[in-house]
Structure 1
Amino acid sequence: MELEQKLKELQNIKLEKPNSVLSMYLNTNPADTEGKDGQWKIQLKNGLNSFENYLESSEDKQELKNFKKVREKIETYINEHHLDLKKSIVIFASPDESIWFVENLQMDVKTEFYWQESPVMDQLYQLKTQFPKLGIILVQKNQVKVIEAELGTVLDTTHYELDLDTEDWRQYEGPHKADVSMGKGGKNLQTDQFDERFKENQKRWYKSLAPKMDKLAKDHNWNRIYLAGDKEEAKDISNYMNKQIDKIDNRNILEQKEEKVIESIVA
């Protein structure tokens, strides 16, 4: 399910006592004060203990039982996935299990805990505004990699390569290093020969690529489009695309890992 749809569903939830929703924003970034040296584990324990102690003093046995059920599920999940944690994790959970929302994020959050009738989504909405669904188009001569991301997390990666025989951009299962020197009949072209041929046809070839990028942006509902590559190559694709390009980065970073690309280009 798309994140937007999940958020709409969460927004309309309002439970009745003794049921409540636990909303948890936990900063697990080892480079941050809250996350380093396993401090987040203490934050998690203290945050959950505060609610349990309060409910014990309130003598509402059913609500306490419901909270303990949610706590157990969250602690089990964290224990099973602690090696996969990135910079933060957001969880919304209810005792009847009708609500179970988890986002493991590549960005910081402020550690907060809430136990109330509805999910507390303020931080998540702020993050979504700051890091909306976007497409990052990385171009390097006859290779193109498209990274789709939301909330700083990679959703999908698509690879394209120009087929020099058909002069058409074909999608392939990546990642792999394309042989840019391959010409007709499988014969190798010298690098300078390839560069010369590419330069002569660059505008025409990128013009044929642009509609594919526009279609991806439309079909996948990108809120922003970032483009990275050599200055002239990025300029040509930007000029031929109908969709607005929100940011152009003149670096060849196609070979970098997706997470590193997002971290460097979205910053």
Structure 2
Amino acid sequence: MDLNKELEKLRKIRKEGANKVFSMYLNTDPSDPDQQGGEWKIHLKNGLKNFEQYMEEDGDKEELKNYQQVKQKVEKFVRGNEQNFKKGIVLFATADEEVWFADRVQMPLETEFYWEETPVLDQLSKLSERYPKAGIILVQQNEIKVIDAYLNEIEGTISYELDLDTEDWREKLGPRDGLGTTGKGSTNLQVDNFRDRFEENKHRWYKKIAPKLDKRAKENEWEKIYVVGEADQAKELKNLLNKPVDEVIQKNMLDHEESKIIKEIFG
């Protein structure tokens, strides 16, 4: 989903009379303390019912009919996705089906319902700005991992490892071999030798990988770039990228779970 394109379409929508636009932001986050008992079901039921009661009292039969058609579609979508909820649901709909946008999102939402002439996009616009297309570059000596993130979700990952024999970077497919650490199979002397070699060559080595990272940034249309790693390594790589880096995070997180990395950066 390209949220910016969807927002552009929705901003052009304007209805008149009885055929209004329904907008819904529904918090379904199971980790939210206020959602531990499935409170979203109550919020959804009450939110949908309130509009219906108002229209029944107002006596506008055509508007009520349109709203009830939308309500059925909303309930059907929610039921069909209940077993696969993320943090929330964003939905916009009209009875004539000119507007239908419904998606489960991994972004935190405040539950809101609207029935108006235009879609209410304030919350979605803010989320689009907060969770843009981003590249997260994790660096740890001779290894680099790249995470493509968008709307607080992981869209793809790729890892690179420096071949110390050829001094070329290659895509890494298997588990780590422990080189440069004091792990099993490595002696302290080997580690010391590697560290010395790394310090002597890191500028030249990172200069070789930088074009690959810039190319990925262009192809994936990164709006933000984050470099994560120990201070000297992260700053060295940042200075070699043509694309501007928005933030350097001085933490060694290459081996962390990707969801934890996303949370560290976007909160």
**DSSP-derived class of the 2:22 partner:** strand
In the TM superposition, what whole-angstrom CA distance separates every residue of 1:60-99 from its partner, at most 9, and x where no partner exists?
3333233222222222222222233233221112223332
Unpaired runs of 5+ in structure 2? none
Contact 2:134/2:225, CA 8 A, preserved across alignment? yes
The aligned residue for residue 132 of structure 2 is 132
**DSSP-derived class of the 1:239 partner:** helix
Unpaired runs of 5+ in structure 1? 183-187
Q: Against the structure 1 CA distance between its residues 216 and 58, is the aligned structure 2 distance closer, same or farther, given a 3 Å change threshold?
A: same
Note the C-alpha offset of 1:196. Answer: 4.5
Distance, in Å, in 1 between the alignment partners of 2:142 and 2:81 is: 39
The aligned residue for residue 76 of structure 1 is 76
Q: Against the structure 1 CA distance between its residues 35 and 230, is the aligned structure 2 distance closer, same or farther, given a 3 Å change threshold?
A: same
Query: 1:46-85 maps to which residues of 2 (within 5 A)?
Result: 46-85=46-85
**DSSP-derived class of the 2:26 partner:** strand
The aligned residue for residue 218 of structure 1 is 218
Contact 2:28/2:87, CA 8 A, preserved across alignment? yes
Residue 57 of structure 1 aligns to which amino acid in structure 2? E
Contact 1:34/1:40, CA 8 A, preserved across alignment? no
Contact 1:24/1:112, CA 8 A, preserved across alignment? yes
The aligned residue for residue 123 of structure 2 is 123
Distance, in Å, in 2 between the alignment partners of 1:255 and 1:63 is: 55
Is 1:227 aligned to residue 224 of structure 2? Answer: no
Contact 2:3/2:128, CA 8 A, preserved across alignment? no
Q: Against the structure 1 CA distance between its residues 260 and 11, is the aligned structure 2 distance closer, same or farther, given a 3 Å change threshold?
A: same
The aligned residue for residue 176 of structure 2 is 178
Distance, in Å, in 2 between the alignment partners of 1:74 and 1:166 is: 58
Q: Against the structure 1 CA distance between its residues 161 and 71, is the aligned structure 2 distance closer, same or farther, given a 3 Å change threshold?
A: farther
The aligned residue for residue 255 of structure 2 is 255
Query: 1:79-98 maps to which residues of 2 (within 5 A)?
Result: 79-98=79-98
**DSSP-derived class of the 1:48 partner:** helix
Residue 175 of structure 2 aligns to which amino acid in structure 1? K
**DSSP-derived class of the 1:260 partner:** helix
Query: 1:182-221 maps to which residues of 2 (within 5 A)?
Result: 192=191, 194-221=194-221
Note the C-alpha offset of 1:222. Answer: 2.0
Contact 2:87/2:105, CA 8 A, preserved across alignment? yes
The aligned residue for residue 21 of structure 1 is 21
Is 1:38 aligned to residue 30 of structure 2? Answer: no
Q: Against the structure 1 CA distance between its residues 102 and 243, is the aligned structure 2 distance closer, same or farther, given a 3 Å change threshold?
A: same
In the TM superposition, what whole-angstrom CA distance separates every residue of 1:165-209 from its partner, at most 9, and x where no partner exists?
44322335x6x5233549xxxxx9865254454444322111111
How many residues are matched? Answer: 260
Percent of matched pairs sharing the same residue: 47
Contact 1:147/1:156, CA 8 A, preserved across alignment? yes
**DSSP-derived class of the 1:37 partner:** coil
Distance, in Å, in 1 between the alignment partners of 2:83 and 2:195 is: 45
In the TM superposition, what whole-angstrom CA distance separates every residue of 1:96-150 from its partner, at most 9, and x where no partner exists?
3332223433332221101122210001112222332221111123322222223
Distance, in Å, in 2 between the alignment partners of 1:71 and 1:34 is: 25
The aligned residue for residue 244 of structure 2 is 244
Residue 208 of structure 2 aligns to which amino acid in structure 1? S
The aligned residue for residue 145 of structure 2 is 145
Distance, in Å, in 2 between the alignment partners of 1:76 and 1:257 is: 34
Residue 176 of structure 2 aligns to which amino acid in structure 1? A
The aligned residue for residue 155 of structure 1 is 155
Distance, in Å, in 2 between the alignment partners of 1:262 and 1:20 is: 37
Q: Against the structure 1 CA distance between its residues 153 and 103, is the aligned structure 2 distance closer, same or farther, given a 3 Å change threshold?
A: farther
The aligned residue for residue 107 of structure 1 is 107
Q: Against the structure 1 CA distance between its residues 95 and 178, is the aligned structure 2 distance closer, same or farther, given a 3 Å change threshold?
A: farther
